[in-house]
Amino acid sequence: MRLVLDWDGTVTERDTLDLVLQEFGDPEIYERVEAELEAGRMTLNEVIAAEFATVTASLDLVVWHVVEHARVRPGFGELARAHRPLIVSSGFHELIEPVLEREGLLDAVELRANSIEARPDGWRVHFRVAAPCEACGEPCKRGDLPVGVEVVYAGDGHSDHCVSLAADRVFATDELARWLDEQGVPYRPLTDFHALAAEL
């Protein structure tokens, strides 16, 4: 069994990208592009690029803010040490690793994420996956799932739609849970990682 986790809103209790955009981004652009995403008129990568182009703060300041405010779901440390999960995120190495370090878990997980160039004229995102997925037609996380082994996936949102359909078992919360309900796809509710570990 391989455990694969989304980061924002899944490992973390709140989406840390939203946390950054609320403090350092442009709320009007945020509202507009999130609506475009919901309507299917922009891809997730286009939305993330547009949102972070409005951030001009220094990386140090933003990392400080994230490390100060991001909380991980209860039980994550024990789960990580026991299973060494693969974390696949649409967020950035530069913002995820400091939180893992704070938790003493930098070496307890495998991390795949995008990266950021914190330019003073607007942050630029370097996307890890550029090729469109055959199933959903967008760059997505499906290609990150290991093959030939049972995959347990946990997620909370848009970036988890396609990949969750390819996992053997899914734990879902928030938007992902509502979306899977609409698709008629079964999942277990994600509450905390003590509960998830008990069901593995």
Residues in contact with Mg ion by CB under 5 A are 6, 8-9, 156-157
Under the phi-then-psi rule, with left for phi > 0, alpha for psi from -120 to 50, and beta for the rest, what region is 81? alpha
Please give the structure tokens belonging to residue 19.
């946390």
Nearer to Mg ion, 94 or 156 (CB): 156
Name 3's bridge partners: 152
CA angle 33, 21, 118 (to 5 degrees): 105
How many residues contact Zn ion, by CB under 5 A? 6
Please give the structure tokens belonging to residue 182.
């609409």
Partner interacting with residue 136 (select from Zn ion, Mg ion, none; CB below 5-8 Å by kind):
Zn ion
Residue tagged 């997925």 (tokens):
133
Cα of 19 vs its chain's centroid, Å? 13
Query: Is 33:64 a contact under the CB 8 Å cutoff?
Result: no
Q: What is the DSSP string of 42-64?
A: S-HHHHHHHHHTT--S-HHHHHH
Q: How far apart are CA 31 and CA 157, in angstroms?
A: 16
Q: How far is the CB of 91 from Zn ion (least distance, A)?
A: 18
> Of the candidates 140, 154, 172, 180, which one interacts with Zn ion according to CB under 5 A?
140
Binding track over 107-136 against Zn ion, x by CB under 5 A: --------------------------x-xx
Partner interacting with residue 87 (select from Zn ion, Mg ion, none; CB below 5-8 Å by kind):
none
Segment (H or E) for 32: helix 27-38
Judged by CB under 5 A, the stretch of 34-42, 44-52, 150-158, 159-167 that binds Zn ion is 159-167
142 binds Zn ion (CB under 5 A): yes
Binding track over 25-64 against Zn ion, x by CB under 5 A: ----------------------------------------
Nearer to Zn ion, 64 or 127 (CB): 127
Judged by CB under 5 A, the stretch of 60-68, 80-88, 147-155, 157-165 that binds Zn ion is 157-165
Q: What are the residues binding Zn ion (CB under 5 A)?
A: 133, 135-136, 140, 142, 162
